């Protein structure tokens, strides 16, 4: 205990005793401490030496010898606010509640009254959090503990097996929108993963990202020329490269206006043209022949408790009636229109009601008129399912732009890609399938919220990935503003949780009930570049920081 500064002593009272879970200590009222700071206490040992108990600060209180606030008022000459000292020099101290993290000899009897409490050095902090001997280390940020001359900065490395399998899998990130927030932290982790697995010594990993906002992710292989020296220094201290993502290919929605310089994207046409010339960008389409078995994905947001819409889909997929010879989307729409007429029979027995066909047409018509639903694939154009099942390889990054598509078409693209990844891992006839595929999706609430119909095929797909994906090597990195809105089975199967800044209404929801109140309050005032992380390999939730992204940033998204 003499190697670090002693700041107080354990205080066990009748009302606030020490327990195996927590204890209190007093400290000087001028001592600056913060929630998440870690302290240590000398404890008993079976071999008559000593052990160390580590605790993480939860609550900090200031108390004086005044019996009431009225006493304090009187002692200031009955409310004299000009006199900063008052008529009486009150005795005061801070008392702190700390949660027990661990003991060096696994002794969990309560710490004893009067034992000295001290700050920790870097080795202590690593030992307390379980960061001292991390296998398969993956950098996830850094801790900044204490203030002033005692400040400690510690690199936080997680065992990657608890993030992307096989021990644990999936990451959920929540928090309100803002600079250096959810997407930035996701990309920080994903970039670290790509650099860690750039060779196949530790296994092979491929990445599929969805760009859902502006052009956020449409230049992730280009360096951030505005990265500040302070951020570069942080990357250097974390032993991370400041290089952007490697082996990136971009996939833009096909548009008939491509030849005139217009694209169905927020990306600049000149940037798209340059990427295509460099064989980094492609337009994606869905032909009827390749996509007809995915028509159910266009109904992801529609309630179908009676199964009538599903019946329409099966009727079409099986080539029944007038759909037998349909090869292109225009003919599909014509046949669909025929079935919405009262006299339609389709040349075969049709037990599906006209009202059901009308509802089905209403759900799918707007989407299939989008340019991405096209007749044939030309040079430079791809089918995303084929691209994933045949061409997705180790260390590659696919960025699929869906930002300017309507909601139903976005759902179709996302569902098609998720299904293609699943099918590839289950049965593609290839020997070079990546061991793991990380699927990153922002605005997860669009596909896995509590409001999504239970029969949604995309929700079923996500539930399957969340529950079985670890064993298949499919890892979900999901991002949303409000964690409470996400389906319990999706977030419940995420081994790692990251909480960013949110509001007081959100932290009052049941999702946060097991997080101490003081940490909940901290979530409402976290700064950009700051997250609270929970992971099975950590002995406590931690407040981590991370630098700005290494790839090109666009103003206003």
**248: DSSP letter:** E
User: Buried b vs exposed e over 185-220: b needs ≥16 C-beta within 10 Å?
Assistant: bbbbbbbbbbbbbeeeeebbbbbbbbbbebbbbbbb
Helical (H) or strand (E) element with 205: strand 205-211
392 or 202, higher pLDDT? 392
Flag whether pLDDT at 344 surpasses 80: no
pLDDT band at 179 (very low <50, low <70, confident <90, very high): low
343 or 63, higher pLDDT? 63
Least confident of 267-276, 349-358, 387-396, 521-530: 349-358
pTM of the model: 0.89
Q: Which residue is it, tokens 């009302």?
A: 15
CA distance 516 to 99: 10
Q: What is the pLDDT of residue 164?
A: 93
High-pLDDT (> 70) share of the chain, %:
93
Distance of CA 246 to the CA centre of its chain: 21
Angle at 301 (CA atoms; ends 300, 303), nearest 5 degrees:
100
What digits encode the pLDDT tens for the residues 13-42? 999 999 999 999 999 988 999 999 999 999
State the average pLDDT over residues 32-60. Answer: 90
pLDDT band at 347 (very low <50, low <70, confident <90, very high): very low
CA distance 415 to 386: 14
State the average pLDDT over residues 421-435. Answer: 86
β-strands 530-534, 542-545 pairing: antiparallel
Q: What is the pLDDT of residue 257?
A: 76
73 or 133, higher pLDDT? 133
User: Buried b vs exposed e over 144-171: b needs ≥16 C-beta within 10 Å?
Assistant: bbbeeebebebbbbbbbbbbbbebbbbb
490 or 353, higher pLDDT? 490
- When mean pLDDT is compared over 79-83, 195-199, 484-488, the highest value belongs to 484-488
Flag whether pLDDT at 178 surpasses 80: no
High-pLDDT (> 90) share of the chain, %:
55
State the average pLDDT over residues 331-350. Answer: 71
51 or 203, higher pLDDT? 51
Q: What is the pLDDT of residue 376?
A: 85
124 or 258, higher pLDDT? 124
State the average pLDDT over residues 312-335. Answer: 89
CA distance 141 to 154: 9
pLDDT band at 81 (very low <50, low <70, confident <90, very high): confident
pLDDT band at 86 (very low <50, low <70, confident <90, very high): low
Q: What is the pLDDT of residue 348?
A: 43
User: Buried b vs exposed e over 368-384: b needs ≥16 C-beta within 10 Å?
Assistant: bebbbbbeebeeeebbb
| Cα-based distances in Å from 222 to 26, 179, 229, 248 | 52, 19, 18, 10
Flag whether pLDDT at 349 surpasses 50: no
- Quick one: tokens of 395? 């260390």
pLDDT band at 85 (very low <50, low <70, confident <90, very high): low
Flag whether pLDDT at 225 surpasses 70: yes
90 or 486, higher pLDDT? 486
Q: What is the pLDDT of residue 556?
A: 60
> Counting every residue, how long is the chain?
557
Instruction: Give the chain's mean pLDDT.
Output: 88
Angle at 469 (CA atoms; ends 466, 470), nearest 5 degrees:
105
Flag whether pLDDT at 254 surpasses 60: yes
State the average pLDDT over residues 454-471. Answer: 90
What digits encode the pLDDT tens for the residues 154-175? 999 999 999 998 899 999 999 9
| Cα-based distances in Å from 417 to 284, 297, 480, 493 | 12, 11, 19, 21
- Quick one: tokens of 173? 């990130």
| Cα-based distances in Å from 156 to 122, 533, 536 | 11, 11, 14
Backbone angles phi, psi at 185, to 5 degrees: -70, -40
CA distance 355 to 399: 39
């Amino acid at each position: 205990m003499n190697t670090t500064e002693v700041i107080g002593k354990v205080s066990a009272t009748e009302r606030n005793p020490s327990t195996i879970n927590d204890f209190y200590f007093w400290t000087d009222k001028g001592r600056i401490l913060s929630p998440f700071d870690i302290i240590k206490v000398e404890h008993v040992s079976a071999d008559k030496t000593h052990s160390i108990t580590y605790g993480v600060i939860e609550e900090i209180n200031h108390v004086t010898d005044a019996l009431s606030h009225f006493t304090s008022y009187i002692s200031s000459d009955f409310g004299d606010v000009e006199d900063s000292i008052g008529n009486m020099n009150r005795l005061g101290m801070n008392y702190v509640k700390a949660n027990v993290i661990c003991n060096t000899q696994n002794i969990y009897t309560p710490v004893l009254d009067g034992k000295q409490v001290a700050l920790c050095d870097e080795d202590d902090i690593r030992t307390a959090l379980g960061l001292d001997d991390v296998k398969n280390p993956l950098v996830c940020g850094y801790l900044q503990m204490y203030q002033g001359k005692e400040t400690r900065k510690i690199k936080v490395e997680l065992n990657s097996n608890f993030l992307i399998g096989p021990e644990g899998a999936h990451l959920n990130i929540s928090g309100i929108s803002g600079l250096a927030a959810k997407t930035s932290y996701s990309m920080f982790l994903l970039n670290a993963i790509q650099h860690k697995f750039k060779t196949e010594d530790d296994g092979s990993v491929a990445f599929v990202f969805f760009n859902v906002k502006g052009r956020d992710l449409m230049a992730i292989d280009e360096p951030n020329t505005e990265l500040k020296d302070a951020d570069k220094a942080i990357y250097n201290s974390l032993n991370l490269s400041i290089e952007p993502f490697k082996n990136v290919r971009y996939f833009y929605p096909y548009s008939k206006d491509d030849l005139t310089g217009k694209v169905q994207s927020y990306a600049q046409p000149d940037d798209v043209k340059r990427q295509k010339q460099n064989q980094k960008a492609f337009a994606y389409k869905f032909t009827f022949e390749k996509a007809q078995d995915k028509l159910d994905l266009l109904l992801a947001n529609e309630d179908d408790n009676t199964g009538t819409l599903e019946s329409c889909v099966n009727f079409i997929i099986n080539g029944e009636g007038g759909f037998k010879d349909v090869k292109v989307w225009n003919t599909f729409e014509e046949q669909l229109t025929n079935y919405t007429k009262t006299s339609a029979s389709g040349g075969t027995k049709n037990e599906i009601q006209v009202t059901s066909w009308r509802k089905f047409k209403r759900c799918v018509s707007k989407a299939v008129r989008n340019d991405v639903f096209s007749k044939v694939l030309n040079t430079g154009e791809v089918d995303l399912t084929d691209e994933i099942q045949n061409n997705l390889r180790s260390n590659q990054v696919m960025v699929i732009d869906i930002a300017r598509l309507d909601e139903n078409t976005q759902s179709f693209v996302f569902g098609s890609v998720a299904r293609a990844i699943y099918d590839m891992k289950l049965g593609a006839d290839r020997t070079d399938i990546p061991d793991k595929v990380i699927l990153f999706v922002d605005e997860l609430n669009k596909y896995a919220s509590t409001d999504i119909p239970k029969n949604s095929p995309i929700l079923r797909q996500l539930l399957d990935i969340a529950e079985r994906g670890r064993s298949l090597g499919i890892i979900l990195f999901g991002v949303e503003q409000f964690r409470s809105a996400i389906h319990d089975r999706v977030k419940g199967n995420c081994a790692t949780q990251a909480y960013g800044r949110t509001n007081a209404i959100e932290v009052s929801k049941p999702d946060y009930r097991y997080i101490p109140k003081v940490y909940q309050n901290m979530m409402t005032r976290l700064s950009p570049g700051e997250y609270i992380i929970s992971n099975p390999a950590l002995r406590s939730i931690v407040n981590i920081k991370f630098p700005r992204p290494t790839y090109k940033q666009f103003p206003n998204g």
